[in-house]
């Protein structure tokens, strides 16, 4: 799972307790979960520790090495059994598809805090527009 604008808004300080409860449900059901974020280490580590899941920060999505690191955290599951959840088409979805994973694009929780994220959102809307 991506972190920023997927599990919490990019400018938010805390993840909702409902999200942690959801993590708990997933883990209890035997679903392996890891956070794969391009965000900074402290922010990612705090959420991962509270959620009880491993994480890669400053991952470098959409590049393949990021997804290899994430897959390692999941215990090298077959790629057809792994889904990436994220809010960005050109990092989360593109990287996941190139890695042979299922990609789940979620609606972003905020417009994004970084200029390049805001630009990417414009391009995403153009790519995803109904034809």
What torsion, rounded to 10 degrees, do the Cα atoms 115, 120, 122, 128 define?
-160
Task: Compute the least distance from the CB of residue 6 to Mg ion, in Å.
Answer: 5
User: Cα–Cα distance between 40 and 106 in angstroms, integer?
Assistant: 21
Work out how close the CB of 107 gets to Mg ion at its nearest, in angstroms, rounded to a whole number: 11
Q: Tell me the site size for Mg ion, rule CB under 5 A.
A: 4
Identify the H or E element spanning 97: helix 94-98
Within 10 A of 114 (CB to CB), how many other CB atoms are there? 11
Coil, helix or strand for 5? Answer: coil
Interface characters, 73-102, with Mg ion (x: CB under 5 A):
--------------x---------------
Give the nearer residue to Mg ion in terms of CB position, either 54 or 86.
86
User: Between residues 20 and 124, which has the closer beta carbon with respect to Mg ion?
Assistant: 124
Q: Which residues here bind Mg ion, judged by CB under 5 A?
A: 2, 4-5, 87
């Amino acid at each position: 799972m991506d972190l920023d604008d997927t599990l919490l808004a990019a400018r938010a300080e805390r993840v909702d307790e409902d999200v942690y409860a959801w993590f708990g449900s997933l883990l209890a059901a035997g679903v392996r979960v890891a956070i794969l974020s391009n965000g900074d280490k402290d922010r990612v580590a705090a959420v991962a520790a509270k959620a009880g899941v491993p994480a890669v920060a400053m991952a470098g999505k959409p590049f393949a090495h990021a997804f290899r690191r994430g897959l390692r955290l999941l215990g090298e599951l077959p790629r057809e059994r792994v889904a990436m959840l994220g809010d960005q088409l050109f990092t989360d979805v593109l990287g996941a598809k190139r890695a042979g994973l299922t990609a789940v694009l979620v609606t972003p929780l905020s417009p994004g805090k970084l200029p390049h994220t805001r630009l990417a959102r414009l391009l995403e809307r153009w790519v995803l527009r109904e034809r």
